Amino acid sequence: MDQETINSYLKHIYNCYKPNTISMYILGLDKYLDYIGSNHLHVPIPQGVDTVRNTIKLEQIQQIKNHVRSQDLSNVLRMQEYLVFQFITDLDTRNHEITKSRWKHIHDHKILFEDCKTGNTSGYLSDETLTALERYKPLMHYKHKDYIFVNQTGRYKGFKWSDNCWKVHSIVTRISKQVIGQTLCPQDFRASIITEEYNNWVNPKVIQRKARHRSQKTTLKYNHVGERELREYIDTGTIFGNDNSLIYKQKTNNGIGKRSYIKTLPQDLSETGDNNIFSFSVSPFFGLLGVGI
């Protein structure tokens, strides 16, 4: 095979798989490297960034806190907006924790949270936040009175904030851009527990699958990885087999608990007769047939 043929095939892989997922790109590279018998070629990789989410620096959080105090934003912002930012700067809270906050969860300076992203947690409110809460309480509507944050205007006046938390996002991004020149969201203050636990794993789908089994959510950034990360991912042996199925070439747990996965081909089922160890289910979203061990 001459160099021109190699380059044309590389270009074909890049153009075909670039718009698709990184998994399809790895599949094309795997088959190509097996075909030419070499894994030391420089392969063009779609431009990307790290897959992990890094929280902002503590200095930036302190800078935002100082700005809130020095500018006396309680007189400039709406009371709800001021409370949202006080909650975030005091407790590093995230969207669902803020919108689901209740008065009964406040005991003295301590407030309790429960969220699918973080589990049970708690924090301590500053005197500024407690003062703002007392000023805000008489303004609340009678519906959902136990919730701290309730819509005061518009079609849904008197109802608690919805779980999409778009108000929280808009408040945080607007003020943070003004203070530190960077657009932030509440997840930038603290990554989710499961993201921090598996932050070192290259393949984000491993983290997503692990989180789905726990009925948790992640704060991952969905981007392609770089060439070095791709090489590390291929070296783990978790690349695709020659039968186009998601199988592993060697025993490895790949961050999924302590279970080991062994390469198993479809024709092995008839030989072993262990059909009872497989379960079949139909995906309600895609209508595909899934096979799981």
* Greater pLDDT, 113 or 275: 113
Interval 236-281: pLDDT, tens: 544 333 333 333 333 343 443 333 333 333 343 334 333 333 333 3
**What pLDDT is stored for residue 196 in this prediction?**
60
Residue 235 has pLDDT above 80, yes or no: no
Largest CA distance in the chain: 79
Interval 140-160: pLDDT, tens: 656 677 788 777 677 777 777
* Greater pLDDT, 94 or 112: 112
pTM metric for this prediction: 0.45
Interval 70-81: pLDDT, tens: 666 656 667 777
Closest CA to 21 of 252, 230, 254, 232: 230
**What pLDDT is stored for residue 83 in this prediction?**
80
What residue has token string 């960034």?
49
**What pLDDT is stored for residue 183 in this prediction?**
75
Mean pLDDT in residue range 50-74: 62
**What pLDDT is stored for residue 273 in this prediction?**
39
Residue 62 has pLDDT above 50, yes or no: yes
Residue 24 has pLDDT above 70, yes or no: no
**Pairing of the two strands 279-282 and 289-292:** antiparallel
Interval 178-187: pLDDT, tens: 777 777 777 6
CA–CA separation, 86 and 61 (whole Å) = 11
Domains of the chain: 3-48+224-292 (no CATH), 58-190 (1.10.443.10)
CA–CA separation, 192 and 169 (whole Å) = 17
Residue 109 has pLDDT above 60, yes or no: yes
* Greater pLDDT, 207 or 101: 101
Asked if residues 236 and 31 have their Cβ atoms less than 8 Å apart, the reply is: no
Q: Which residues of 252-278 are buried (b: 16+ CB within 10 A; e: fewer)?
A: eebbbeeeebeebeeeeeeeeeeeeee
**What pLDDT is stored for residue 149 in this prediction?**
79
